[in-house]
Amino acid sequence: VITTYIVVSVGLFLVARLSPYEWQNPHPCEAFSEEKENQFTVLSSFWFFITPLLNQGTEMAPHTISTRLLTGIWWFFALIVISTYTANLAAFLTVDTTELPIESVEDLVAQTKIKYGTLQSGASHDFFKQSKIPVFQQMWQFMSKHDVFVQNTKQGIERVLKGDYVFIMES
């Protein structure tokens, strides 16, 4: 972007200097003046092309087709750059970077910090108790050794809200 900015600014300066219609009378009250002035100096060319990137305007306006075309291309380029930046910034700021410590049953079994349990009596309780699948057998052994069973759904939800508890039930 910086290299393009420099090249386009120098290009505007050169095109404006070469075009006879960019040279204007600095004294509009005098109809015929030998003195002509070009509004696009090196500094003003750089300023003219930085303003769209800074969301600013300028009082200068190109007079010839060549400088207007160059200006239009630059404004379109600035629009694309600013839109891309804004979209990437919005996407970056909305991405949830929190890492979940438990993403599967295997993760739940592998840790001991967060306890997990079911209703004292229910289909989930019976499932873990009678399961022949090794991971569920490990879960049943853990639940049997710790005080993790709850009497009703409300009690299970309350334990989850207090933290460090996973309430497993049928849906």
Cβ–Cβ < 8 Å for 103, 114:
no
Q: Which of 163, 111, 116, 113 is nearest to 143 (CA)?
A: 116
Of 131 and 56, more confident = 131
- Over residues 132-161, mean pLDDT: 92
CATH of domain 105-167: 3.40.190.10
**Same fold? 2-94, 105-167:** no
Q: Which two tokens stand for residue 108?
A: 């739940």
> Which pLDDT score, from 0 to 100, does residue 25 have?
66
CATH of domain 2-94: 1.10.287
> Most confidently modeled of 65-69, 119-123, 156-160?
156-160
- Over residues 85-101, mean pLDDT: 84
- Over residues 91-108, mean pLDDT: 83
The C-alpha atoms of residue 156 and residue 148 are separated, in whole angstroms, by 9
Which residues neighbour 99 within 8 Å (Cβ) at sequence distance 6 or greater? Answer: none
Q: Which of 132, 130, 121, 116 is nearest to 164 (CA)?
A: 116
What whole-number percentage of the chain has pLDDT above 70? Answer: 98
